[in-house]
Amino acid sequence: MQKTKFYSWKTGKLAEGCRLCVEGHKLVLFVTGLCPRNCFYCPISDTKKDKDVVYANEWRLGNEDDTRAIIEEARLTEAKGASLTGGDPLLPLNRSVRYIRMLKRRFGKKFHIHLYASLGLMAEKSLAKLYNAGLDEIRIHPDFEDRKHWQKIDLINKFNWRVGMEIPAIPGWKKKTEEMIDYFMDKVDFLNINELEISDTNAQHLVERGFIPKNRISYGIKGSQQLAFHLLRKYGKRLPIHYCTTTLKDKVQLANRMKIRAKNAAKPYDLVTEDGMLFRGALYLKELKPGFGYRRKISKIVSDKAVKQRIIKKLQKTMKMLQKGYKIKKGYIIIDENKLRLLTAPAIAMLIKQKDLKPAVVTEYPTWDQTEVEVVFV
């Protein structure tokens, strides 16, 4: 068992998809939030769970045909591969097949694509479609408590791709987990074990079952790592295993992707921080300044085309006036149509004195949704 440089442990060689993910070079393509199963430990957020929505990383697609957004997100993050996830990407099978073909056509055969799926929806015809589209690797998530679909692994192995199994380390489920690994060990190329994590959506289910975080600052569940270490020691000599921690996901995978995206998404007026955040000036209309219910308010307005256009026209008028009055160079002030505000340099925002505007300096993620870390009104 070997500790990696990125807060995880492994035996054998890391799967290609995992290597790219750690580097921040994997596009996470969330194909749907729909799933035939209802795992109590599922950490998917309320905005995605049980909803037929598509996201390219944090970028929510307007509709499933908006492949332009997928390609642009891949470009901004310098993606060398993609992981198709959900929900279950096999529910909208044709959508998943179309995305695989599109990505391979756009970025080439070496663009590594893996897909996560449960076994229930697998059939030879659907697997053939995925294989022929160019899928490089399939990762299964078997049901711990229902074995009726376990034998479908034999269908998967009819095709010449990499096959992995990815499961959470659930404290108290040592026997169930060992029985699962014993069954699949000779039928898969590698095993990924994820630290069981708590989220807003699964917290109640986990607490009801007696699971608690391992400490005050971690999303990891107490006892999960101990089970993972046991499995690494027991099976590591017979199978390549990677134990992926919640720390890896936050401090390495996400952090690396943020730094890459910040570099490519930054505008001339932006300052990029050491950890890949964007430090910028923002000018808010008084009625749309950040505060309680801000996200909900913006989301509601953006979904109403007439109201959105009215606000954009107001911002256009304000921007022209500021460009003239403060002699702001072209490209150093723009309209942010997603959050209905003006963006500019921090130094410029500090100079603006306009009664109908609330200037601020903000630190935010370089992602499509631009989640705020800090907003300071000036």
SS (H, E, C) 163-222: EEEEEEECCCCHHHHHHHHHHHCCCCCEEEEEECECCCCCHHHHHHCCCCECCCCCCEEC
Q: Report the pLDDT averaged over residues 137-159.
A: 97
Note whether 18 and 138 are same-domain residues: yes
Note whether 66 and 166 are same-domain residues: yes
Note whether 111 and 131 are same-domain residues: yes
Note whether 216 and 97 are same-domain residues: yes
Note whether 65 and 199 are same-domain residues: yes
Note whether 12 and 76 are same-domain residues: yes
Q: Report the pLDDT averaged over residues 186-203.
A: 97
Q: Report the pLDDT averaged over residues 28-45.
A: 96
Average pLDDT, the chain: 96
Say if residue 216's pLDDT is above 90.
no
Q: Report the pLDDT averaged over residues 221-231.
A: 98
Predicted confidence at residue 168, as pLDDT, reads 98
CA dist 376 and 340 (Å) reads 18
Which residues make Cβ contacts (< 8 Å) with residue 213, sequence separation at least 6? 198, 219, 220, 221, 222
Asked if residue 247 lies in contact with residue 198, where contact means CB atoms within 8 angstroms, the answer is no
Note whether 217 and 357 are same-domain residues: no
- Residue 12's domain spans which residues? 2-262
Asked if residue 367 lies in contact with residue 261, where contact means CB atoms within 8 angstroms, the answer is yes
Residue 212, both tokens = 């608690």
Read off the pLDDT band of 182 (50, 70, 90). very high
Note whether 22 and 100 are same-domain residues: yes
Q: Report the pLDDT averaged over residues 295-317.
A: 94
Note whether 235 and 338 are same-domain residues: no
Give the CATH number for residue 217: 3.20.20.70
Note whether 190 and 239 are same-domain residues: yes
Tally of structural domains, the chain: 2
Whether this model's pTM surpasses 0.85: yes
CA dist 22 and 54 (Å) reads 23
Predicted confidence at residue 355, as pLDDT, reads 85
CA dist 16 and 41 (Å) reads 26
Predicted confidence at residue 53, as pLDDT, reads 98
Interaxial angle between packed helices 294-302 and 305-325, expressed in degrees from 0 to 180 and rounded to the nearest 10: 110
Q: Report the pLDDT averaged over residues 170-176.
A: 98
Among the candidates 262, 288, 321, a domain finishes at 262
Among the candidates 262, 281, 297, a domain finishes at 262
Note whether 192 and 335 are same-domain residues: no
CA dist 170 and 196 (Å) reads 6
b/e per residue, 318-340, with b = 16+ CB within 10 A? bbeebeeeeebeeebbbbeeebb
Predicted confidence at residue 312, as pLDDT, reads 97
Among the candidates 238, 262, 286, a domain finishes at 262
CA dist 29 and 22 (Å) reads 16
CA dist 56 and 100 (Å) reads 13
Say if residue 217's pLDDT is above 90.
no
Predicted confidence at residue 160, as pLDDT, reads 97
Note whether 66 and 95 are same-domain residues: yes
Whole-number Cα distances in Å, 176 to 173, 185, 258, 260, 353: 5, 14, 37, 40, 65
**Per-residue pLDDT tens over the stretch 317-356:** 999 999 999 999 999 999 999 999 999 999 999 999 988 8
